[in-house]
Amino acid sequence: MRIDTKEPPSVIVTSAADKDDLAAALPFSTEQLLTALLLFCHKKRIPLPVRGSKEIAVVSGRLMLIVTLLARQRAGSQDANAVPGQKKWRA
């Protein structure tokens, strides 16, 4: 398995070569990865907040699901959770 750290991240799963020396590579998009991680959490009964922002990041070569609980905003106020320069891939 290879994790591509381009923006947004993706994963390419490569099968081992068979008797004819053929290998298959299956790419997975950010949306597919996020869906798979959310379904995994649901199946394992890992609670996730419904209103939380879900995103994927690559940290030290590993795929990470990040859930952020957003602060309530008043009309016209700045995003309380914004981090300058941070790149996010949201569902």
pLDDT in tens, 5-52: 667 777 777 777 666 767 778 888 888 889 999 999 999 999 999 888
Domain count, the chain: 1
Residue 65 carries which side chain, given as an amino acid letter?
Answer: L
In a domain, 34, yes or no: yes
CA dist 68 and 91 (Å) reads 12
Range of the domain at 23: 2-68
**How confident is the model over 59-71, as pLDDT tens digits?**
887 888 899 987 7
Residue with the two structure tokens 């750290």: 5
Q: Would 84 be classed as within a structural domain? A: no
Asked if residue 13 belongs to a domain, the reply is yes
Q: Is the pTM above the cut of 0.85?
A: no
Residue 36 lies in a domain: yes
